[in-house]
C-alpha cells in the first residue's frame, strides 16, 4: 500500500460534488417545479398534480403507456430469449451473423427504425402493404402500422436486442456441469432446457426485460412518429405536448415526470438486483469443458428462419427503405437504374432548407464532440474511484453516476429546464443546456466503458509503479491512463454517437438556431419530406456503423497492448 496524498482525497470529494450537482441539482428543481405554478413563482401548491390527475387525457395516456410498455417488454422477451438460445445453445448455422443482433440498437437507433417502418407499414402506400397487395392480389392492406399493435411491434424490434444481449451472455457463461448434472439425472434435452437452462438465465432475462421496460418509457422517436400519426399519446409524447404547448405548461410537465421517474427508478433497482443474482447463477466454477450444443436437426432451419425474419424486419428492410428513399427519384417507382437519382441529396444539402440542415449537423457535431470529451473525462475519474478507491464515498459516487439511466430523456430535459432557466445560469434556449443534458444523460455509459477497462488492469501494475517510487499522480497518468486508453476511447465514441442521435431531451430543449440532427429529422418527417428523412437517417446509420467498426477495432487492439 502506498500513502494517498490528501490532494487525492480532495479530488475524490470534488468528483463527488460535481457528479452530485450534475445529477441531483436538476432533480431537486424538478421536484420543486412540480409544486410551483411556474419557474418564477415563489408559491408552493399541489395544483399541478391535481390538474394532471383530473385531466381528460390522463386516463388514455396512462392506459396507452401501460399497454405499450408491457406489450413491448413481453414481445421483446419473446423475440430476445429464443434468439439468445439459438445463438448460445444450438447448432444453428450462421450463428456469427445472427449474433449481430447485439449491435442493431447501436446501428439502427429508434428514430431510424421508426421512420423507416412508418414508410414500410402505411396502409395505402407502405412497401410491405404494397407487396402484400400484389402478392395476395387484394386491395386490403396486410396491416396498419399506425396503431397500438404497430407501435408495440416497432418498439420491440428496436428493444429486443437488450433482452438478447443479457440472455445470451448468461447462456454462454453458464457452468456446463449444471446441464450435465441434469442429463445424468435422467433429464432429456428439452427437460434440461426448460427446467435448468432457462430458469438459470431467468435473472438475466428479467434484467434485460426491465431495461426494455425503462427504455420503452424513455424512447421518444417511435411514439412521436408512429404513435402520434395514429393519434396514440403516451407519457413521452404527452410531456412533449405540454412543453411545446402555447403557453408551455412547465409545472404540469414536472408533476407528470415524477411518477415516471419513480417507476423507472424502481425498475432500475430491480434490474440491478436481477443482474446481481444472474452473476451468482452463471459464474463458471472450476474447470469445465464446453457444453455440447443442442443438435436441432431439421428444426435448425426453423431457428434460422426465425432469426432471419427478425434481422430482415429490424434492420434489412428499414435500411433498404432508407437507401430507396435516398436514391430513387420518386416514391413508388421501382428501384431500377432508370430512376436512380442524386437530386434529392443535392437538393437537400444545397436547397432552401439546406442551411438549417447544415446548421443542425454542425450543432450536433459540436455538441457531441464537446459533450463526449467532457463526459469521458468525468467518467474516467468517476470510474477510477469507483473501481479502485477504498474511499467510503465511492459507493455513493457509483450510485449517483448510475441514476441518469433511470431518468428518461424527456424528464431530464424538464428537470434541466427548471434548474437552468434561472439565475445564476440563464441557460434556457441556449445550446449549453442541451450540452448539460447530454453529459448528464450519457455519463453512466461512459463510466461503464472506462470501469470495464480499469477492472481488467491488474492492480499489481499500479502497485509495482508505486513501489518503484511513483506518486499517486504519476501512477495515474503514466500507468493507468495509458492502459485504460482503449476503454476511454471506446467510451468516447459511444458517447459521441449517442449524442449525435439524441432526440428525447433535445426535442424539449432545442430552440431556433440550436437545432440538432434529431429534431430536424422529426421536423422533416412531420413535413412529409420522405427523401430528406431517408438521407438524414442514412447519415446517422453510416455514422453509427463507422463508430461500431472503430470501437471494435480499438477494443481488439487492446489485446496487443498486453492488457491481458
Partner 1 sequence: MQEVRVENLVKRFGDVTAVDSISVEVPKGMLLTLLGPSGCGKTTTLNMIAGFEDPDGGDVFVGNKLISSAEQNILLPAHQRNLGMVFQSYGLWPHLSVRDNVAFGLQMRKVPKSEITPAVERALGLVRLEGLGDRYPSQLSGGQQQRVAFARALVYEPDVLLLDEPLSNLDAALREEMRLELKELQTETGITTIFVTHDQVEAMVMSDVIVVMNHGVIEQMGTPRDIYQYPANQFVAGFVGISNFLNGKIAGNADGNGLTPVTVGGETLLCEITGRAIDSEVALSIRPEDWIATVEPPADNVTNTLKCEVEKAVYMGGVLEIWLKANDQQIRVHGHRLPMLESGTSIYISVDPSLIKIVS
CB of 275 to partner 1, least distance (A): 15
Q: Smallest distance, Å, CB 270 to partner 1? A: 17
d(CA 88, CA 485): 31
Q: How far is the CB of 290 from partner 1 (least distance, A)?
A: 11
Taking a C-beta distance cutoff of 8 angstroms, is the pair 433, 417 a contact? yes
- Does 281 sit near partner 1 (CB under 8 A)? yes
Smaller CB distance to partner 1: residue 177 or 373?
177
DSSP 182-235: HHHTT--HHHHIIIIIHHHHHHHHHHHHHHHHHHHHH--HHIIIIIHHTT---H
Binding test (CB under 8 A) with partner 1, winner from 9, 63, 292, 422 = 292
Contact between 173 and partner 1 per CB under 8 A:
no
Strand-pairing partners, residue 90, are 294
Closest CA to 65 of 222, 253, 274: 222
Nearer to partner 1, 297 or 562 (CB): 297
The distance of closest approach from Cβ of residue 208 to partner 1 in the complex, given in angstroms and rounded to an integer, is: 17
User: What is the DSSP code string of 522-553?
Assistant: HHHHHTT-HHHHHHHHHHHHHHHHHHHHHHHH
Q: Does 91 bind partner 1 (CB under 8 A)?
A: no
Stretch that binds partner 1, among 287-295, 368-376, 466-474, 480-488 (CB under 8 A): 287-295
- Closest approach of partner 1 to the CB of residue 184, in Å: 4
The distance of closest approach from Cβ of residue 281 to partner 1 in the complex, given in angstroms and rounded to an integer, is 5
Judged by beta carbon, residue 286 or residue 424, the one nearer partner 1 is 286
Site string for partner 1, 178-217 (x = CB under 8 A): x-xxxxxxxxx--xx--xx--xx-x---------------
User: How many other CB atoms are there within 10 angstroms of residue 270's CB atom?
Assistant: 16
Q: 479 near 461, Cβ under 8 Å?
A: yes
One DSSP character per residue, 161-191 reads: HHHHHHHHHHHHHS-HHHHHHHHHTT--HHH
Q: Does 175 bind partner 1 (CB under 8 A)?
A: yes
Query: Rounded to the nearest whole angstrom, what is the least distance from the CB of residue 385 to partner 1 in the complex?
Result: 30
Q: Which of the residues 9 through 48 are near partner 1 (CB under 8 A)?
A: none
Out of 285, 297, 334, 528, which residue is the one contacting partner 1 (CB under 8 A)?
Answer: 285
Residue 505: left (phi > 0), alpha (psi -120 to 50), or beta?
alpha
Q: Do 139 and 531 meet the contact criterion of CB atoms below 8 Å apart?
A: no
90-98, 284-292, 520-528, 534-542 -> range binding partner 1 (CB under 8 A): 284-292
The residue (of 78 and 181) whose beta carbon lies closer to partner 1 is 181
Indicate the residue among 63 and 195 with the shorter CB distance to partner 1: 195
Nearer to partner 1 among residue 172 and residue 463 (C-beta)? 172
Q: How far is the CB of 372 from partner 1 (least distance, A)?
A: 40
Q: For 34-101, what is the HEC assignment? A: HCCCCCCCCCCCCHHHHHHHHCHHHHHHHHHHHHHHHHHHHHHHHHHHHHHHHHHHECCCCHHHHHHH
Spatial CA neighbour of 49 closest among 227, 284, 259, 240 = 259
Give me the least distance between CB of 452 and partner 1, in Å please. 25
User: What is the binding site for partner 1 (CB under 8 A)?
Assistant: 175, 177-178, 180-188, 191-192, 195-196, 199-200, 202, 280-281, 285-289, 292
Amino acid at each position: 500500500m502506498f500513502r494517498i496524498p490528501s490532494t487525492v482525497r480532495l479530488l475524490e470529494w470534488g468528483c463527488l460534488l460535481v457528479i452530485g450537482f450534475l445529477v441531483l441539482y436538476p432533480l431537486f428543481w424538478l421536484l420543486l417545479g412540480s409544486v410551483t405554478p411556474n419557474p418564477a413563482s415563489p408559491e408552493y401548491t399541489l395544483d399541478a398534480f391535481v390538474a394532471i390527475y383530473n385531466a381528460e387525457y390522463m386516463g388514455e395516456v396512462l392506459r396507452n403507456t401501460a399497454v405499450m410498455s408491457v406489450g413491448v417488454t413481453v414481445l421483446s422477451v419473446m423475440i430476445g430469449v429464443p434468439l439468445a438460445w439459438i445463438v448460445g445453445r444450438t447448432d444453428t448455422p450462421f450463428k456469427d451473423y445472427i449474433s449481430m443482433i447485439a449491435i442493431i440498437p447501436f446501428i439502427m437507433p429508434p428514430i431510424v427504425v421508426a421512420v423507416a417502418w412508418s414508410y414500410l407499414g402505411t396502409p395505402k402506400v407502405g412497401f410491405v402493404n404494397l407487396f402484400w397487395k400484389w402478392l395476395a392480389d387484394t386491395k386490403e392492406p396486410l396491416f396498419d402500422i399506425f396503431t397500438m399493435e404497430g407501435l408495440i411491434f416497432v418498439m420491440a424490434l428496436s428493444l429486443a436486442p437488450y433482452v438478447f444481449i443479457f440472455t445470451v451472455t448468461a447462456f454462454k457463461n453458464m457452468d456446463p456441469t449444471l446441464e450435465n448434472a441434469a442429463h445424468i439425472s435422467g433429464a432429456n434435452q428439452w427437460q434440461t432446457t426448460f427446467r435448468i437452462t432457462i430458469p438459470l438465465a431467468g435473472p438475466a432475462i428479467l434484467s434485460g426485460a426491465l431495461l426494455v421496460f425503462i427504455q420503452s418509457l424513455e424512447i421518444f422517436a417511435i411514439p412521436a412518429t408512429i404513435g402520434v400519426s395514429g393519434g396514440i399519446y403516451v407519457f413521452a409524447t404527452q410531456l412533449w405536448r405540454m412543453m411545446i404547448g402555447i403557453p408551455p405548461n412547465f409545472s404540469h410537465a414536472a408533476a407528470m415526470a415524477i411518477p415516471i421517474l419513480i417507476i423507472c427508478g424502481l425498475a432500475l433497482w430491480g434490474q440491478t438486483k436481477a443482474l446481481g443474482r444472474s452473476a451468482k447463477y452463471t459464474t463458471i466454477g472450476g474447470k469445465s469443458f464446453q457444453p455440447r450444443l443442442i443438435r436441432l436437426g431439421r428444426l435448425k432451419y426453423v431457428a434460422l428462419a426465425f432469426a432471419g425474419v427478425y434481422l430482415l424486419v429490424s434492420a434489412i428492410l428499414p435500411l433498404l427503405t432508407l437507401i430507396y428513399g435516398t436514391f430513387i427519384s420518386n416514391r413508388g417507382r421501382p428501384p431500377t437504374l432508370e430512376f436512380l437519382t442524386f437530386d434529392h441529396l443535392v437538393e437537400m444539402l444545397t436547397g432552401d432548407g439546406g442551411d438549417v440542415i447544415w446548421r443542425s449537423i454542425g450543432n450536433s457535431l459540436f455538441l457531441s464532440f464537446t459533450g463526449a470529451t467532457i463526459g469521458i473525462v468525468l467518467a474516467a475519474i468517476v470510474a477510477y474511484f469507483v473501481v479502485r478507491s477504498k474511499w467510503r464515498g465511492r459507493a455513493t459516487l457509483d450510485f449517483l453516476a448510475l441514476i441518469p439511466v433511470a431518468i428518461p430523456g424527456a424528464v431530464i430535459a424538464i428537470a434541466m429546464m427548471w434548474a437552468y432557466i434561472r439565475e445564476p445560469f440563464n441557460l434556457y434556449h441556449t445550446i449549453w443546456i442541451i450540452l448539460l443534458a447530454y453529459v448528464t444523460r450519457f455519463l453512466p455509459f461512459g463510466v461503464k466503458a472506462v470501469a470495464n477497462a480499469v477492472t481488467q488492469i491488474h492492480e499489481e501494475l499500479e502497485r509495482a509503479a508505486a513501489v518503484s517510487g511513483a506518486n499517486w499522480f504519476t501512477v495515474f497518468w503514466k500507468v493507468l491512463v495509458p492502459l485504460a486508453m482503449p476503454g476511454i476511447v471506446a467510451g468516447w465514441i459511444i458517447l459521441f454517437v449517442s449524442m449525435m442521435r439524441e432526440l428525447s431531451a433535445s426535442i424539449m430543449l432545442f430552440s431556433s438556431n440550436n437545432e440538432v440532427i434529431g429534431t430536424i429529422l422529426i421536423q422533416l418527417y412531420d413535413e412529409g419530406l420522405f427523401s430528406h428523412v431517408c438521407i438524414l437517417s442514412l447519415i446517422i446509420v453510416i455514422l453509427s456503423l463507422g463508430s461500431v467498426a472503430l470501437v471494435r477495432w480499438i477494443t481488439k487492439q487492446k489485446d496487443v497492448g498486453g492488457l491481458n
